[in-house]
Amino acid sequence: MELHEARRAGLYNIGDVATRSGVTAKMIRHYESLGLVKEARRTEAGYRVYADVDVHTLRFIRRARDLGFSIRGIQQLLGLWQNRRRASADVRRVAQTHLDALDAKIRELQQMRATLEHLVHNCHGDSRPDCPILDELSARATED
Amino acid sequence: MELHEARRAGLYNIGDVATRSGVTAKMIRHYESLGLVKEARRTEAGYRVYADVDVHTLRFIRRARDLGFSIRGIQQLLGLWQNRRRASADVRRVAQTHLDALDAKIRELQQMRATLEHLVHNCHGDSRPDCPILDELSARATED
DNA sequence: TCTGAACCTTCCCATGATGGTAATGTCAAG
DNA sequence: CTTGACATTACCATCATGGGAAGGTTCAGA
């Protein structure tokens, strides 16, 4: 197949798909190398060729990434999405696992934030050198 | 210098320092290669040798890492810590920058979390295939 | 004194998701 | 036929950390 034939057949090259899906061409190739999306057909010149269904799949991937799912999680979600006999419980389990991970991460960052906020709040922030931030970081023990 | 002499002089090898500072030997070497800590002296056999002041510095680094500071930020903080003519305003500026970054990251994760929570909440989680989580991910447009 | 465990050294590779760049080849329009 | 905008692969970088291999050192105990 050649590219102009593919175009006439309603197919896209990687740049078109990138624009339509919101996934960069770079990442599309990367996902292919990971096996997250199946290997694209090629024109005779070696250009990747895509159809609407691929755009749809890549949008799915991008939305999942936007929700912070890992490639592993997206792999699971894609598998369930493409399996009509899936149980929604399986989907929810994957999502819940990620939700728990998000919660853990948020708590971790909030803990950092609280400590740092406290320190920043207690720092004069003037021309003098004394600074509770440095005092805390150089303290002999980890206590506040 | 040989190791037993160094020990008698109150110095440590990298394993001791790792234990005392809470920074792994691996990371101590890495920080040295980055220039975050100065190059350690060596015994004649090539073993790194450290003093109490180095333990102190590495603890400082570990505490800063625990607060999520980047290597770049820690470099700045170390510089200020070791500069007696620093202005606390400079320290606070570095900390505030990181605090802002933490806030941004937390908000980003909370946004993800909220969306995902909503989806998980609306998913039956039973044996049927219909699932709002997949519906959202495969939606034609990004709206809730 | 020998041996083995427990250290140390350097060097390379892996993570996860993404970006950059370079060298090279193809396509489409003027 | 040239030119510019595409495409291809391959490699390197990020950020902080860990793993492991291959080899040298130290030290305690038999």
Please tell me the distance from the alpha carbon of residue A8 to that of residue B31, in angstroms, as a whole number. 57
Residue B73 in domain = no
For A21-40, the pLDDT digits (tens) are 999 999 999 999 999 999 99
Give the closest-approach CA distance of B85 to chain A in angstroms: 6
Q: Using 50, 70 and 90 to split pLDDT, how confident is the model at B143?
A: very low
pLDDT of B47 over the 60 cut: yes
B46 lies in the same domain as B100: no
For B105-132, the pLDDT digits (tens) are 999 999 999 999 999 999 998 999 999 9
Residue B115 in domain = yes
pLDDT (average), residues A69-81:
95
A95/B119 CB distance under 8 A: yes
B66/A112 CB distance under 8 A: yes
Print the domain residue range for B48. 1-67
B111 lies in the same domain as B63: no
Give Dmax (Cα) for chain A.
73
With a pLDDT cut of 70, the percent of chain A lying above it is 92
Q: For chain A, say whether B9 makes contact (Cβ under 8 Å).
A: no
Q: For chain B, say whether A107 makes contact (Cβ under 8 Å).
A: no
CA B29 to centroid of chain Cα atoms: 15
Q: Which of A131, A136, A140 to mutate to test the interface with B (most CBs of B within 10 A)?
A: A131
> Angle formed by the axes of helices A14-21 and A25-34, to 10°?
100
User: What is the DSSP pairing of strand B48-49 with strand B41-42?
Assistant: antiparallel
Please tell me the distance from the alpha carbon of residue A111 to that of residue B136, in angstroms, as a whole number. 32
CA B69 to centroid of chain Cα atoms: 6
Give the count of Cβ contacts less than 8 A between chain A and B: 159
Of B94, B89, B63, the closest CA to residue B77 belongs to B94
Please tell me the distance from the alpha carbon of residue A61 to that of residue A32, in angstroms, as a whole number. 12
pLDDT (average), residues B71-100:
95
CA-to-C1' distance for B133 and D27, Å?
62
Residue B118 in domain = yes
Task: Strand D: list positions under 7 Å from protein Cβ.
Answer: 6-9, 15-19, 24-27
B1 lies in the same domain as B62: yes
For chain B, give the mean pLDDT: 91
B39 lies in the same domain as B92: no
User: What is the DSSP pairing of strand A48-49 with strand B41-42?
Assistant: unpaired
Q: For chain A, say whether B104 makes contact (Cβ under 8 Å).
A: no
Beta strands in chain A (DSSP E): 41-42, 48-49
For B97-119, letters b (16+ CB in 10 Å) and e give: ebbebbeebbeebbebbebbbeb
